[in-house]
Amino acid sequence: MSEPRRLRDQDEVKVAIIEALADRSEQGMTIFELRARTDIDIDTLESHLTELKQDRFIKIDESSNDQIVIKPTERALNSTQFNESSSSFLDELRDRLPF
């Protein structure tokens, strides 16, 4: 797999995580709910959650019934980085062509 494609796939994983969390932004999701919703393997999910936390796109809430709940930050909800309309022309073209 080429390096640009691999990087694009990583961004798609992060977008899937943020989109899943955005749908339940008030109550958040446990790691198991997030894994079931995104269908991402646990190791990949863990590494991307670490990156998203370091970049302040998610926050961890440990105050609800002894469960760790992951919630998106306002930065993630308002970020154009995760906005569907921010995809480039080349990304759209690449998605439409069969290669």
Segment 70-78 mean pLDDT: 89
Q: What pLDDT, in 10s, does the model give residues 52-69? A: 999 999 999 887 677 889
Q: What's the one-letter identity of residue 78?
A: N
Q: Using CA atoms, how far apart are residues 87 and 8, in angstroms rounded to an integer?
A: 11
Q: What is the pLDDT of residue 36?
A: 94
pTM above 0.75, yes or no: no
Q: How many domains does the chain have?
A: 1
- Residue 29: is it exposed, middle or buried by C-beta count within 10 angstroms (0-12/13-18/19+)? buried
DSSP assignment of 36-73, as one string? HHHT--HHHHHHHHHHHHHTTSEEEEEEETTEEEEEE-
Query: Where in the sequence is the domain holding 11, given as residue range(s)?
Result: 3-96
How far apart CA 51 and CA 90 sit, in angstroms, is 25
- φ, ψ of residue 58 to 5 degrees: the values are -135, 160
Nearest to 76 by CA among 3, 10, 25: 25
CATH of the domain at 45: 1.10.10.10
